[in-house]
Structure 1
């Protein structure tokens, strides 16, 4: 299965950076969402992307949106990454790549790197944008612009 624009995001659960179970229905269908998949905690591109989302997080919150980052790193790795870079948003651990499969995030660079894909979901739980780019810096302005168009 692979989510496409116009699809409703199915319910899912995953552990967050505190080891708590996150249930998607707590936010999906209630507020706009930015769900971004990234390759690995504490690598240069992923740190740039996470810190950029951190720096713009209040802008997303002011628009009523939530940001969620997902990678296959462990809960412990996410906890260290979030603490080190003071990330205020949810990080979910996807060690078995279940969420990557639900969303249809493919590997890049000849299958060597987990993909970097951002999904924008409206408050009804519908996917309205899928942004697939290895360039970490491009995801944040694209996500913010799309959320603004949704709510303003």
Structure 2
């Protein structure tokens, strides 16, 4: 049991924002859950705590959007994301805590940068699937999703570019 009150003061708002974001109202603010919680716990502990919650909310999200996905896109992105998740699983157990915290900070800052930059971009044109780019950005999405619950920016780079 975690008895640190600061953990709860940081984690409860972070998890609320994550769940609001999963519902489509939080403008992607759920990405702050890992960095906030990592202020009081190690990154592997945070990822372990968040995984069941995120899996449950992802199942609800999948149900809400059932039948609205693009199968050709998923055939490229899912295997690539699984590879990225695998790399994330290897990295989280082999990299020092300092490097993990730095990586999560960079991913989080990049997420915010892309949100601000992306809101001013013109609407993307239809450029097709681009399998090589899809494999790269899918793997990046899986990796950043595993490490910092921030897979959306990499996915957006591919889909909206």
| TM-score, normalization by structure 2 | 0.25
Task: Point out the structure with max Rg over C-alpha.
Answer: 2
Higher relative contact order (Cα pairs below 8 Å, separated by 6+ residues) = 1
Higher strand share: 1
TM-score by length of 1: 0.26
